[in-house]
Structure 1
């Protein structure tokens, strides 16, 4: 039996429950014409745009499962005056539903930080900043490397794991023999103290502020990859969650999505 739109959402929420989302988040349904409709195909992405909606229709998908919510801030009208409005309007016109799995995917066990840790072959992985409500969940992870790494080797492996060619890093003069690494995909500036307290000698994340690099230079080796690059594994992880529940179902990753930031 072909799953409905609601069936797909239920499978995602079984892996990453909505109860894990932060108060400021807006995970869950963004656009849903009718949840009981048969799901013809799922397209996964990081950010929903008009181009992503068009790709979904072109590939025969009537459901987009995104990491970031399309509707993060309240809309007062749908007049096509912003990219968010135009994406929502196009989805409604084309009959494409949109679901977001944001902070639940960030903090669930096996979520995004765990996926990057797996690619880096970290061992003894545990939650970096446990959720007081759900101790088994929380933001980030910390784990041990298979062998001691130089800062340069760690950065090279992190860039490869996140499929990016650039990284902003602390000056590595005081960081040698790295054997314990913390990771928070997306913006992880707030969890540097957790990384230090967990005994990590290096911290991989994104969106680190300039003054943080200055102030924490002696505490831990900081590796700042782009926000998009650390979270693009959401596409494959969400496909994996869906196909595990529905083995014969068509779930595919966006082939047109790129980072919204370029370096010139």
Structure 2
């Protein structure tokens, strides 16, 4: 399959026009690879390490969730990460394409995959956008789990380095309704409360957002940005494999960007 045909297929599923106004979905760098047979490295974040991996595997497309460019740079200078990515992309004929907030909304996107991992049932978006799609997912745990068992399930299935959760008096509280949103989802707390979810799995939550959630009787669970979004990248690889591309692989050089001491 040509890269141009792959992108057409993808955009029919997750239209980049659906992305938020602050976002930058679609082509980040296109050095003339559209008619090449697709050799795709899928990653969460396009970094120099991922670019070096793509070069080693002779990939010609880095398909990333996070955009390489959020805001137009004022300059490109030697030694700067984005400038080096641009230089290497054109030198080695490797395109970089991003599917961000458009990918967040769709079936088998970031939130939907999280809901599947927790085996939520009767799933609906937290914030609908169009045609039963939208940001986040909320659904029913069947059977219900204690909070302790839910946290253990998240730890086992997502393998985050740390799980942070709201202060609660009872880890044996039974949880039957859960909301999920991969990546930075604390701004959706008010919307989650309206869904009657008892617990909300997301990431990048601040101190006072934990306070807000506690005061609104919502258990906020932060499993980290990487752990909550990386599974959707793996699902994307599976979808691309079904298209019989020349080559596709999930990056092994993706980085969490966070380490924890003890």
1:4/1:39 contact within 8 Å kept? yes
2:106/2:112 contact within 8 Å kept? no
Question: Which position in structure 1 is the counterpart of 2:151?
Answer: 155
Gaps of 5+ in 1: none
1:39/1:63 contact within 8 Å kept? no
Aligned to 1:12, the other structure's residue is in SS state helix
Q: How far apart in 1 are the matches of 2:203 and 2:43? A: 19
| 1:29-56 superposed Cα distances (whole Å, 9 cap, x missing partner) | 0111124331341000011111111101
Q: How far apart in 2 are the matches of 1:129 and 1:195? A: 8
Question: Which position in structure 2 is the counterpart of 1:181?
Answer: 178
Q: How far apart in 1 are the matches of 2:190 and 2:79? A: 41
- Taking only aligned residues, the RMSD between alpha carbons, in angstroms, comes to 1.6
Q: How far apart in 1 are the matches of 2:253 and 2:33? A: 26
| Residue 112 (1) aligns with residue 146 (2) | no
Question: Which position in structure 1 is the counterpart of 2:49?
Answer: 51
| Residue 82 (1) aligns with residue 80 (2) | yes
Pick the aligned partner of 2:212 from 191, 207, 215: 215
Pick the aligned partner of 2:137 from 130, 137, 141: 141
| Residue 169 (1) aligns with residue 165 (2) | yes
Pick the aligned partner of 1:235 from 224, 230, 233: 233
Pick the aligned partner of 1:69 from 50, 67, 72: 67
Q: How far apart in 2 are the matches of 1:29 and 1:209? A: 32
Question: Which position in structure 2 is the counterpart of 1:251?
Answer: 248
Aligned to 1:71, the other structure's residue is in SS state coil
Shift of 1:83: 1.4
Q: How far apart in 2 are the matches of 1:57 and 1:262? A: 27
Shift of 1:239: 1.2
2:42/2:237 contact within 8 Å kept? yes
Shift of 1:243: 2.4
Tell me the TM-score normalised to structure 1 length: 0.93
Shift of 1:248: 4.9
Q: How far apart in 1 are the matches of 2:232 and 2:84? A: 24
Shift of 1:242: 1.9
Tell me the TM-score normalised to structure 2 length: 0.93
Shift of 1:164: 1.3
Aligned to 1:109, the other structure's residue is in SS state coil
Q: List 4+ stretches of structure 1 deviating above 6 A.
A: none
2:203/2:222 contact within 8 Å kept? yes
Q: How far apart in 2 are the matches of 1:22 and 1:238? A: 21
Pick the aligned partner of 1:102 from 100, 106, 110: 100
2:32/2:93 contact within 8 Å kept? no
